[in-house]
Amino acid sequence: MSIYDHTATALDGSQVALSDYAGKVLLVVNTATGCGFTPQYEQLEDMYAKYRDQGFEVLDFPCNQFADQAPGTNEEIHEFCTLKFGTEFPQFAKVDVNGADAHPLFAELATEKPFEGFGKGLKNKALESFAKQNNKKFGEQCYIGWNFTKFLIDKNGELIARFEPTDDMADVEKAVAEAL
């Protein structure tokens, strides 16, 4: 299956074909408004503003599966992101990224590039321990470790990289620039 075979639910409830983004470099991200990584919205918006005219899109999928850090409605989440971070990139309706109801896009991407850990360091090890507890309930269908996991898709719809929320955003931007 190709990324372009998937659809996503827009904030207005309509279905968006991801094939609408064919020929663009995509950064698919599961997000949350009440997470320690939420400030990454600012960096994502900066990247979007810098590269969108070159064919770059950030596709934002809020998710409330990680310690209930995205509890609001789709409208509340969207308002928070646009007012606090000035986001202009496409934001979709809230999704599950783990478990039986995981959005097939995330299941597919994460199966192709599985979670390999949050990296070294005390903070990352603490997050890994906390995430492991939180994600036990998903068993074999635990595809995503935490909020702000990012998947980089090239212009041909091929998955080229996975970035965990603990990865340096400068590395994410460098990979985006190279893909463009």
Distance CA(103)–CA(98), nearest Å, equals 8
The token duo for 92 is: 């979709």
Longest dimension (CA), the chain: 43
pLDDT in tens, the chain (180 residues): 789 999 999 999 999 999 999 999 999 999 999 999 999 999 999 999 999 999 999 999 999 999 999 999 999 999 999 999 999 999 999 999 999 999 999 999 999 999 988 988 888 888 888 898 888 899 888 999 999 999 999 999 999 999 999 999 999 999 999 999
The pLDDT of residue 27 is 98
Q: Is 142 exposed, middle or buried (0-12, 13-18, 19+ CB in 10 A)?
A: buried
Q: How many CA atoms within 13 Å lie on the side-chain side of 11?
A: 14
Distance CA(26)–CA(93), nearest Å, equals 17
pLDDT in tens, 24-46: 999 999 999 999 999 999 999 99
pLDDT in tens, 46-68: 999 999 999 999 999 999 999 99
* Sign of the alpha-carbon dihedral angle for 150, 151, 154, 155: negative
The token duo for 39 is: 């400030």
149: Cβ contacts below 8 Å, ≥ 6 apart: 29, 30, 97, 110, 115, 162, 163, 164, 165
The domains of the chain, with CATH numbers, are 3-179 (3.40.30.10)
The pLDDT of residue 68 is 93
Q: Is 35 in the active site?
A: yes
Q: What is the pTM of this model?
A: 0.95
In our burial notation (b when 16+ CB lie closer than 10 A, e otherwise), range 63-95 reads: bbbbeebbebebeebbebbeeebebebbbbbbb
Active-site option among 35, 63, 81, 142: 35
Closest CA to 43 of 179, 158, 150: 150
